[in-house]
Amino acid sequence: METMTLVQWAFDGLLGCTVLWLAWRALACEDLFKGIVLFISFGLLMALVWVRLNAPDIALAEAAIGAGLTGALLLVALAKLDDEVASLSTNSQPARSQADSSPTGSSRSNESSGQN
């Protein structure tokens, strides 16, 4: 069993603190794009954690799936969400229902429901 030097302890401690900080920042982020970028960074650092734990197979899976594939899917979903929001904001008024289109339709329905 190899002994850990002070530099290795410091690197592992810094890596652990950075992973925890990135996880907290990714969850508490207000901006979705920034949160996704932090999530991808978190996945890459988790791959480095697995390498430090002598698990290169899990590190490769984490880098490919956790950071790469999931990050790409989240970015595509964000782009589609932005397109949907942009298309909704271009409509000047939402479609009105038939009851709201008549000037007295809503007041009559309120009067009839109040007398029951």
Do the domain assignments include residue 4? no
How many structural domains compose the chain? Answer: 1
Do the domain assignments include residue 18? no
Domain that holds residue 63: 31-88
Do the domain assignments include residue 102? no
pLDDT digits (tens, 9 = 90+) for 24-59: 999 999 999 999 999 999 999 999 999 999 999 999
pTM exceeds 0.75, yes or no: no
pLDDT of 62 strictly over 80: yes
Report the C-alpha gap between 65 and 44 in whole angstroms: 10
Do the domain assignments include residue 44? yes
Do the domain assignments include residue 2? no
Query: What are the Cα distances from residue 113, in Å, to 31, 102, 103?
Result: 45, 18, 17
